[in-house]
């Protein structure tokens, strides 16, 4: 039987929950594998030898994460970066905008719900933070990626089934716009103005980007079937970019610049366009900042 191990690093365990969301389909996979290590299910620390396939959820945020990632790589024949945090750094990667000192100060001293009169920041026997969040591939060799926040259960099943059958797992290399059911103009996407998600009334059929909503579909891998846009919610990019794209945020910025309507009577001056996007990094790099061309704030280390 194929020996499978799973572990979690800097993450929320949502990818493991998605694995369980296979429900009865999980039984067919379990008949072909032996689960030999999984901290979410077993109270064990030591990572066993001779792992055939390792699913590693989460990015690297502290020294313990780094140690576990290297141990899993050493003992596994195949390593899968499991979920967007492992593949690209994920939402925890937004911490790269701040120094470790700023993060600890906020978390343990200044949040509204924190009562810490002594101003103590945990230090003894607590794994030290690394200098920044990094995706798994920057610290160990990764054989396959399984993006998504979390990955759809069907996608997890297809990747695991392919490996069990001795095949190469395949991910869609189309972007979300290519599979989105929303109607696009015959002239292509033309953005006349930008709106916040709560502004205006969303047309249930028309392309969200054409309506002025920042939808990341053009810069995002189509592995979810355009779930959010189909429900009237702009894509936030949780599956990361396709293999053709180096930097997801840069791709989206380029798309907006290309699609912005250029005529004499447009309602907004192009120079005012950035002001309509309140959280630029959070909008374009919510899930992929640690794997971006510029993975940290430039002046962060000066503080």
Q: Where are the beta strands (DSSP E) in the chain?
A: 2-8, 33-37, 51-57, 60-62, 76-82, 129-134, 144-146
In degrees and rounded to multiples of 5, residue 249 shows phi and psi of -65, -45
Instruction: Give the pLDDT confidence of 218-253 residue by residue, as tens digits.
Output: 999 999 999 999 999 999 999 999 999 999 999 999
Q: How far apart are CA 101 and CA 172, in angstroms?
A: 40
What is the reported pLDDT for 266?
55
Q: Indicate whether 14 and 139 sit together in one domain.
A: yes
Give the pLDDT mean for 165-179. 94
3-state secondary structure 196-260: CCCCCCCCCCECCCCCCECCHHHHCECCCCCHHHHCCCCCCCCCCCCCCCCCHHHHHHHHHHHHE
Q: Indicate whether 220 and 142 sit together in one domain.
A: no
Asked whether the beta carbons of 168 and 162 are under 8 A apart, the reply is yes
Domain membership of residue 102 (yes or no) is no
Average pLDDT over all residues of the chain = 91
What is the reported pLDDT for 299?
63
Cis peptide before 150 (omega within 30 of 0): yes
How distant, in Å, are the alpha carbons of 152, 188, 206, 211, 279 from that of 185?
30, 5, 8, 11, 28
Domain membership of residue 250 (yes or no) is yes
Of 164, 187, 217, the residue at which a domain comes to its end is 164
Domain membership of residue 111 (yes or no) is no
Domain membership of residue 100 (yes or no) is no
Q: Tell which residue, 208, 214, 227, has the closest CA to residue 255.
A: 214
Domain membership of residue 284 (yes or no) is yes
Is the confidence at residue 189, as pLDDT, over 90? no
What is the reported pLDDT for 263?
54
> For residue 82, what is the domain's CATH number?
3.40.50.700
Q: Indicate whether 88 and 135 sit together in one domain.
A: yes
Q: Indicate whether 89 and 31 sit together in one domain.
A: yes
Q: Indicate whether 181 and 265 sit together in one domain.
A: yes
Q: How far apart are CA 84 and CA 37, in angstroms?
A: 21
- Give the domain range for residue 39: 2-95+123-164
Of 105, 139, 164, the residue at which a domain comes to its end is 164
Give the pLDDT mean for 74-84. 98
What is the reported pLDDT for 264?
47
Q: How far apart are CA 96 and CA 108, in angstroms?
A: 18
Give the pLDDT mean for 293-300. 80
Q: How far apart are CA 180 and CA 184, in angstroms?
A: 10
Quickly state the pLDDT bin for 65 (edges 50, 70, 90): very high
Which of these ranges, 146-155, 180-189, 242-251, has the smallest mean pLDDT?
180-189
Owner of token pair 């925890």 = 92
Q: How far apart are CA 103 and CA 97, in angstroms?
A: 10
Q: Tell which residue, 10, 92, 100, has the closest CA to residue 59.
A: 10
Give the pLDDT mean for 288-299. 90
More confident position, 27 or 82: 82
Q: Indicate whether 159 and 263 sit together in one domain.
A: no
What is the reported pLDDT for 269?
66
Give the pLDDT mean for 150-163. 96
Q: Indicate whether 136 and 200 sit together in one domain.
A: no
| % of the chain with per-residue pLDDT over 70 | 92
Q: Indicate whether 255 and 206 sit together in one domain.
A: yes
Q: Indicate whether 195 and 288 sit together in one domain.
A: yes
Domain membership of residue 32 (yes or no) is yes
Domain tally, the chain: 2
Quickly state the pLDDT bin for 125 (edges 50, 70, 90): confident
Is the confidence at residue 133, as pLDDT, over 50? yes
CA quadruple 268, 269, 270, 276: dihedral sign:
negative
Q: Indicate whether 49 and 87 sit together in one domain.
A: yes
Domain membership of residue 137 (yes or no) is yes
What is the reported pLDDT for 185?
81
Q: Indicate whether 22 and 79 sit together in one domain.
A: yes
Q: Indicate whether 60 and 203 sit together in one domain.
A: no
Domain membership of residue 154 (yes or no) is yes
What is the reported pLDDT for 250?
96
Asked whether the beta carbons of 59 and 86 are under 8 A apart, the reply is yes
Of 145, 164, 183, the residue at which a domain comes to its end is 164
What is the reported pLDDT for 261?
61
Is the confidence at residue 268, as pLDDT, over 80? no
What is the reported pLDDT for 236?
97
Q: How far apart are CA 127 and CA 16, in angstroms?
A: 23
């Amino acid at each position: 039987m194929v020996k499978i191990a799973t572990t979690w690093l800097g993450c929320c365990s949502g990818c493991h929950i998605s694995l369980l969301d296979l429900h009865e389909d999980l039984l067919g996979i379990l008949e072909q594998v032996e689960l030999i290590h999984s901290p979410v299910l077993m109270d064990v620390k030591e990572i066993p030898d001779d792992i055939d396939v390792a699913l590693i959820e989460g990015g690297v945020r502290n020294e313990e994460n780094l140690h576990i990632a290297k141990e899993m790589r050493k003992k596994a024949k195949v390593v899968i970066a499991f979920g967007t945090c492992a593949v690209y750094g994920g939402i925890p990667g937004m911490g790269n905008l701040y120094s470790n000192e700023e993060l600890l100060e906020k978390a343990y001293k200044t949040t509204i719900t924190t009562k810490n009169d002594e101003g103590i920041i945990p230090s003894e026997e607590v794994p030290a933070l690394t200098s920044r969040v990094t995706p798994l591939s920057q610290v160990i060799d990764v054989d396959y990626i399984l993006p998504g926040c979390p990955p759809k259960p069907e996608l997890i099943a297809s990747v695991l089934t392919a490996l069990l059958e001795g095949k190469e797992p395949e991910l869609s290399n189309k972007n979300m716009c290519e599979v989105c059911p929303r109607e696009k103009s015959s002239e292509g996407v033309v953005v006349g103005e930008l709106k916040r998600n709560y502004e205006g009334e969303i047309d249930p059929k028309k392309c969200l980007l054409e309506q002025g909503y920042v939808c990341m579909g053009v810069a995002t891998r189509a592995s979810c079937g355009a779930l959010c846009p189909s429900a009237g919610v702009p894509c936030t990019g949780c599956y990361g970019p396709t293999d053709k794209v180096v930097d997801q945020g840069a791709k989206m910025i380029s798309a907006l610049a290309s699609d912005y309507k250029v005529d004499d009577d447009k309602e907004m001056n192009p120079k005012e366009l950035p002001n309509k996007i309140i959280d630029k990094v959070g909008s374009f790099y919510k899930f992929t900042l640690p794997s971006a061309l510029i993975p940290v704030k430039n002046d962060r280390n000066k503080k």
